[in-house]
Structure formats: structure tokens, C-alpha cells
Amino acid sequence: MNAALSDRARAFRRNALASIKRFARIFSLILSIILLSAIGKLEPFVDVSAAAGISATHRGDWQLFDDDFATGYLGIGQAWGDYDRDGWLDLYVTGNRDPSVLYRNLGDGSFAVSSLSPQVALVGADTGGAVWADYDNDGWLDLYVLNHGANALFHNEGGAGFRDVTASAGVGDAGKGTTAAWGDYDGDSYLDLYIVNWSCFPECGDPNISRQHDAARDTLYHNQGDGSFADVSHLLDYDLLLGSGFSASFTDYDNDGDPDIYVVNDQFKNMLGNILWRNDGAGCGGWCWSEVSIQAGARTFIHGMGLAVGDYDNDLDLDFYFSDMVNGMVLLQNQGDGSFDDVAAAAGVAVGPSSAVGWGTVFFDYNNDSWLDLFLTATEFVQFDVFSGPEGMMFAYRDFLFKNRGDGSFADVTPAQWLQELRPSMGLAYADYDRDGLLDFVLGNWNQGYALYRNTGAEAAGNNWLNIRLTGGAGINRDAIGARVYIETDDGRRLMQEVKSGSSLGAGNDMALHFGLGAASIAELSIRWPNGVEELLSDVAVNQFLEVRYSP
């Protein structure tokens, strides 16, 4: 009896201490917002990392080698996904040379390191990008992690644990993995996987040896539907897979209903430029792909890093923004006829020429005004001189928050505080983690750690929104990746977003589609499912989290 009472007392004490800690975090968050309001204009985002319990570290190595940026591994990763299906988005971040961490969202604005975190920590591996997806359609999000060396696929065991299935699945691609993207390119309801690898130098040896870029090859895996994958990279032009890749995305750029692939390459060592694989359907010994970047105006030769995909001008096709170093960033406006024009300078988002090294980037509507805004992370490139010391490109620098003006241009609205508190930011992923109708983001800072920024709503007051999560079934992948949602507002505007998993840089944004609506309401909402079926919803209320499951 006494032992039982003692056990209950200890349990009560543990629960009480946990509640006190959660209360302290919430109080700290509220206090920080109150203080910011008291001293002046409330910024659109506030760093709540400490209050939310986010303290994961990142430790990377990047050194000069024979006058080339070659040694070390530019790996960083941050991915949102509800692994335990409790309705709250959890967060996984990679540590590069430090252990990776899985955080469980407690639903009160705070996070705790998951009891399952050790199973996906990858201690001893050099980790990079990460992305969630339900590759076997069992209803639970699985986790893919890119590494310098063999990548890792963790199967979600019904929310109770993770099992490393890399070997049996056949997806242990061994390069310098940067970003992975999921998409069902052949419409068989199972998600396929595209892996982006950066340059293999100096590991790949003598640059005079034939095929010296082989170890940097990107890989396309086809999901066999039985838990395993087949390397089908032979369906693509081999030589065009050998770039120093940083990011990629499955995306239907030509509006023909099937997912294409856009790859952003660094011109380091092997200057291929960016690559656009157009999905041409069945045939060709398995599947037909055409590389069309030149004819589409998308073969850009830059030090490409991150990739944002979205319809920033609300003309119902998808545009690309990607980052560069020193020279200007690129905004490819989709012309609706299969071609693109670079309008970065006219839109006010070129940034360079400057000392900025652009990394992760996303389109997201942070102020819910119905126009996708733009976020870009950056570090600074510094050459050797008597004042700055040794050359490098991972120095602390400002990030960029661009507000979409709705006329094809953007305004730099970067908070003043960010210009004073510089960080070497690389990774970036967004989600509405606290379910308040406002998009937040997590930032990955090179050789430091991760910072969680909560959207204060300071610039979204009075604006309506809709957060819609699609679930596939009956011949459609469960995450409904590749589906599109179209919204017509009661003031005559039309908005479109596409479900995707993987983009930016080593990032997994939340797969739910978040629409800002401004002062408008929804007149009509339609869904184009990946199989081409269109579903029309009427009387959809604003300011809600809507879940729609495919039913044939």
C-alpha cells in the first residue's frame, strides 16, 4: 500500500512539474508579445524558441580545400508532420554532425522531445535534409532523411515507433544528399522519390578521370507498391543527373495534370544549369520524360540553392523562385504556355549583386491577404582581406521577408530586429503549428541550431483564411500530393495551390494548403485530384481547418 501510494505521489509530482514547465513556456511567450507591443509596433513574427522548448543544435563543417569550397557537408533539414495523428504538427530537425531531434507538439504552443526521438536521431551519421510522406498509404507519415552517405527511410509503426527500412526499401542513396521530393509521377497511387545530391568533390577523386561526377548523381526511385523502390534513373538523361544539386520539386508546371520535376543546381564543378523534366506519360521502356529547360526558359546557370514553388501572381499557374550567391536571385514567372521569364529585378526580389548567399526560400501568405509572400534565408560571402580575415560563405547575414503587393511586385518588409540580430540562416520550413490561422516557420541556422518563429498576426488583422488538408484513397496517394485546390472568392478573384512534399532546401513544409482570403469569403472551392477527378464544394466557411477525403 505504501509503495503504491509512493508511486502515485511520484507520478503526481512529475505531472505537476511538467504542467508548471508548460505554463512557464506559455507565460514566457505571452510576456514576450506584451513587451514587444509595449515598446513599439508588433513585429509580424516573434522568436518563441525558448518558450516553445525548441533547442536542437546544428554542427556542420565547411572548409576551403585547394581554393575550392569542397570539404565538409552543407546539410541541414527541418520538416513538419503529424507523426502521431493527434491533430498537431510535430517537427523533425537534423543536426548534421549532432544528433537529429524529433519534437512532439503538445498542443499548447510548446514542444517536447519525443520519446521516439532516439529511434530517428541518426547518431554518428552526417545528416542533411528531411521530409515526411506516407509512402505506403497506411495512414501514417513516414520519414526520409538525407545524409552524407547512405540516406535513411523510417517507417512509422502506427505512431508507436519508427523502423529503419532503408535496406528493404532500397532507397539508401549514398551521395551528399541535400533535398528529397515525393510525387506520384505515374499515377499508380504510390509516391515516388527524387533525390538531389550535391557535388561529390573531393570524394570523387581526380577531376581528369572519366565520369568523375558519378557520385553526385541525382536518383529517381519508383515506388513498387510493396514497400520497396526501384532505381529508375535510367528513364532520365544520365548526364543531366550529374549536377551539384541543392533542391527539387515535383510540380505540374504546364498544367497538364501530371507532375513534372524541376531541379535547382549549383554551378560548382559541373555547370549543368537547372533542369526541368517534363512528364510525357507511359512508354519509353517504363515512362517518358523530356528535358525541356532550354525551350522553357528555365535552364538558369547560377549557384542555385533553395527553391520556392507557388502561384505568386494568382494567374493559376506555378512560378519558381530560387536563390543564388553574390549575384541576383531568380524569379521565373510562368507565362502559361510552357515557358518562363525571369522577372526578379522588376518584382524587387533579385537581392544581388551583393555579398548575400541565398539558401532556403518559400512562398507563403503570412498576412492572409490572398497574395503569396516570399521568404529568403541567407548567409554572407566574405573574401579574404586584412579586415575580414579568411574567405568563406557561412557568415551571419540578414534574411529577407518580401510582402506581395498584388501587382507583380514585392516590398522588402524585413523586420528591423532581424537586421540587427544577424544569423547564418540556411534552412526554412513553414506550418501553422499552433492552429491559429497564421503561418509560422522554423529556421535552421548553420552551426548553431533551430529557431521557431510564431506569426503574431500583426499584419493579418481582419483577413480571412482557409487551411485545407486533403486525404487520398481509392487509387490516390494518401497525402494527395499533386492535387490542386482552386478557390473563387466572392469578389471575383481565383486562387490556386498544389499539394507537394519537398522543396526549398532540405525542407518539408506542412502539406496542408493555407489560403489567405483578405476580406473576402469563398464563393466556390474545387479540387482537382491527382487522377483528374474534379470535386466541387459549396458553402465553405472561412477561418477553419477543413479536411477533405477523396471518395469516388
> Region 92-109: what's the mean pLDDT?
98
The predicted model scores a pTM of: 0.91
Q: Supply the mean pLDDT for the chain.
A: 91
pLDDT score at 71: 67
Flag the least confident range among 82-91, 376-385, 470-479, 515-524. Answer: 376-385
Determine the residue type at 242: L
pLDDT of 403 higher than 90: yes
pLDDT score at 382: 86
What SS3 class is residue 83? coil
Dump pLDDT digits (tens) for 152-187: 999 999 999 999 999 999 999 999 999 999 999 999
Beta 62-65 vs 68-72: how paired, if at all?
antiparallel
> Region 7-29: what's the mean pLDDT?
49
**When comparing pLDDT for 129 and 199, which is higher?**
129
- pLDDT range class, residue 451, cuts 50, 70, 90: very high
Helix ranges restricted to H, 360-414: none
Dump pLDDT digits (tens) for 48-78: 999 999 999 999 988 755 445 556 799 999 9
pLDDT score at 33: 47
Among the listed residues 310, 367, 363, the one whose alpha carbon sits nearest the alpha carbon of residue 45: 367
CA-to-CA separations, 71 to 65, 201, 265, 517, in angstroms, rounded: 6, 8, 18, 47
C-alpha cell at 530: 491527382
pLDDT score at 239: 94
C-alpha cell at 436: 491559429
**When comparing pLDDT for 318 and 32, which is higher?**
318
pLDDT of 117 higher than 60: yes
